Chain A
Amino acid sequence: MSDQADYQALMSDLIKKQMVMLGPNLVLSKSRQVTGLTVADDGTVQSINGDPQVALQELVNAFMSLSGQIAQMTLNALLEKYPGVKKPQ
């Protein structure tokens, strides 16, 4: 799997988990504000335009503002599945 695909899969997983935790409308609304990200209604990231690391950082920041440590813990668990993805700040 390429790095880009890894980023796409990780962000899809993260969005879907956040949808279960916080509710779909809110999470989709937040995710779709991330620059360059196209997100389907089920939370799948369909495409990333631009630097995926920047997109991931923006997405994580958005979720951190909603659920703080929970978003952080979810991300940490997912990062173990995708070792090719650099941990956001």
Chain B
Amino acid sequence: MRGKLSKELAVSKKHEEEIARRAYETAILKEIGDRIGYSLDATKIVEIISGSLGKLLPYSSVGHMIIDKKHDKILFSIKINESVSHSFIDDVKRKMIAAVSEMTQSPIVESDIDVAISGNIVSDENKEPLRSFFNLPIIISGSLVGIINVSSTLANLYNDENTEVLYQIARLASDAVSRLQEVLENEKSRLSQAVQSLSDGLLMVDVKFQLVLVNNKLTQLLGTVTNPSLFDIVNSLSGKFDLRTKMEEAFVSDEPLPSQEISVGDKTLQIVTSKVVDKKLQKPVGLVVLFRNVTDAKSLEKIRQDFTSMMVHELRAPLTSIKSTAELLKEQLPQLEAEQIISYLTTVDSTSQTMLELVNDLLDVAKMESGKFDVVLEEGDLTNVILERAESFRPQTEAKKLKLTIDVQKNLAKAYFDKVRIKQVLNNLISNAIKYTKSGEITVKVAQEHVNGIGADILVSVTDTGIGIDPDEGERLFARFGQLERGRMITNVKSSGLGLFIAKGIVEAQGGRIWYKSDGANTGTTFYFTVPLVENVKKGVNKNQVGQSVGYSTTRVAHG
């Protein structure tokens, strides 16, 4: 009976111990969770576990070694529970060094260790040596961050049973922090990729003005070395923007600083400095400086302004002319001869025609931009169209004493084009050639291209001996409002700058290509464009090009 009772008591005691261990495990894990939060500070885990041993185990000292990779140091801290000697502490330290060396597979120099001793008195009169110990490694994301050592002057004190709960806690805490670290690393990596892929330059500093991050775009914009220091960045802005002062101002200012524009090389940068505030703590934790490249926006703005003033001029001049002529006719009609009246009305007609063409150009551009530009493609003979258009310019070439040569290859194969729109292309190229040529010759040539002996497209070229085009001038030639500045100045001719943009749209909608060649200023220019052969379109050679590549709608008119 007594035996049964004592057996039950033993079971009950064991059960109580198990419950106590579980309670301890839960309490420690909760404390770790509460205290470390999202800081990922492994030191805190080590401190919490080593500081919470309490009465779980008998021990003389509990210590920990933290590996501080950032400063290449090891921090050794020991808390004395029962008075021990210096030699006991030295022995603990040696055993921990041996353990860390074995775990990291790298030797540890004692001078790299910072020591902190706390707790009970260290007395060398106490001769009790170290007789039992165990180490608890703390591993986060596969790397050792530190170890906890529990030591005693008593022998054979620690076994798997009484230490199991500590290993369990260490493992669970490590796993939790490792998972959290993984999540944060992924987030950090995503954030870093996002920052690197920004189209704006960006840098961030902490409260001590230490550079936290800088993206590649900023090094490109400022032309600094890769991975620049803050000094490199400040230096590259020297004389243009006092970055240091602006950052200091932003830190103390409650309101965001107004953005500022500066010029760096040929770029215009807009700089926005903004304070990063920790919402929870309500205090600044750093500064972000954003460098936005507004060069294109500025240049577009200038183009828009130029375009508006040009349009006002283009419309105002003919409208004034029409109005004056109408007034004159109204006031002096009875006195005017029939021939004079016809002459005035002819002026009104041609002036309003010019205005109409300009308005039509604007409408075409609007259609092209909205993808609603339409071409009607038909089989036809280019020869007559080219001859008719080129000849129509002869009076103008003669007036400027320019030689006009029209060279059309005989028996051209049938082509596929919009019979109305192609005239717009020819008008634009030939009128430009005349406009920008003071003396010499204009040649309009049409021939069939051959690739490896096989008929390709029909190639139309308009060559002049005019002002030519420098390579850097040609970049925007086919863009909207892309009139050459030099052309405008030399010839004093202002145009809408829409002609070549429209010509390109028409040629590409027909499935052709348009380009130019010039050896530079004052060497003349040749503009080329191609028109697909009917034969090739039927074979499907140009099937994917006609209208598709530029997103315009095409209508095909079939002929018997």
Contacts and interface: CB of A to CB of B under 8 A. Distances in A.
Interface string A27-65: 001100100000000000000000000000000001001
Contact of A29 (B135, B159, B167, B171): B159
Nearest to B167: A66
B99 interface: yes
B112 to A, nearest CB: 19
Given A25-B156, A26-B160, A70 B139 contact: yes
B139 A69 contact: yes
Contacts of A77: 105
B137 A25 contact: no
B224 interface: no
Interface centre among B132, B137, B156, B161 (most CB of A within 10 A): B137
A30 B102 CA distance: 19
B160 A21 contact: no
Contacts of A67: 137, 139
Interface in B123-159: 132-137, 139, 142, 144, 156-159
B103 A70 contact: yes
Interface centre among A21, A30, A62, A68 (most CB of B within 10 A): A21
A20 interface: yes
Contacts of B161: 29
A84 interface: no
Contacts of A68: 139, 171, 174
Main secondary structure of the interface of A (DSSP, over half): helix
A20 B171 contact: no
Interface residues of A, number: 19
A74 B104 CA distance: 10
A21 B139 contact: no
Nearest to A72: B142
Contacts of B103: 21, 70
B294 interface: no
Interface string B155-176: 0111111010001000100100
A29 B163 CA distance: 11
A5 interface: no
Given A30-B160, A68-B171, A20 B139 contact: no
A30 B132 CA distance: 15
A22 B99 contact: yes
Contacts of A21: 99, 102-103, 135, 137
A22 B171 CA distance: 14
A68 B167 CA distance: 10
A20 B160 contact: no
A17 B198 CA distance: 50
A81 to B, nearest CB: 14
A23 B135 contact: yes
Contacts of A20: 98-99, 102
A17 B100 CA distance: 11
B102 A17 contact: yes
A81 B136 CA distance: 27
A76 to B, nearest CB: 11
Contacts of B135: 21-23
Interface string B87-103: 00000000100110011
Contact of A26 (B95, B102, B137, B163): B163
A6 B110 CA distance: 36
A26 B158 contact: yes
Contacts of B144: 70
A25 B139 contact: no
18 contacts: A20-B99, A21-B99, A21-B102, A22-B136, A22-B137, A23-B95, A25-B134, A25-B157, A26-B159, A26-B160, A29-B161, A62-B160, A65-B167, A65-B171, A67-B137, A68-B171, A70-B103, A70-B144
Given A21-B137, A68-B171, 13 more contacts: A21-B99, A21-B102, A23-B134, A23-B135, A25-B158, A29-B159, A29-B160, A33-B160, A66-B160, A66-B167, A69-B142, A70-B103, A70-B139
Interface of B: 95, 98-99, 102-103, 105, 132-137, 139, 142, 144, 156-161, 163, 167, 171, 174
Interface of A: 17, 20-23, 25-26, 29-30, 33, 62, 65-70, 74, 77
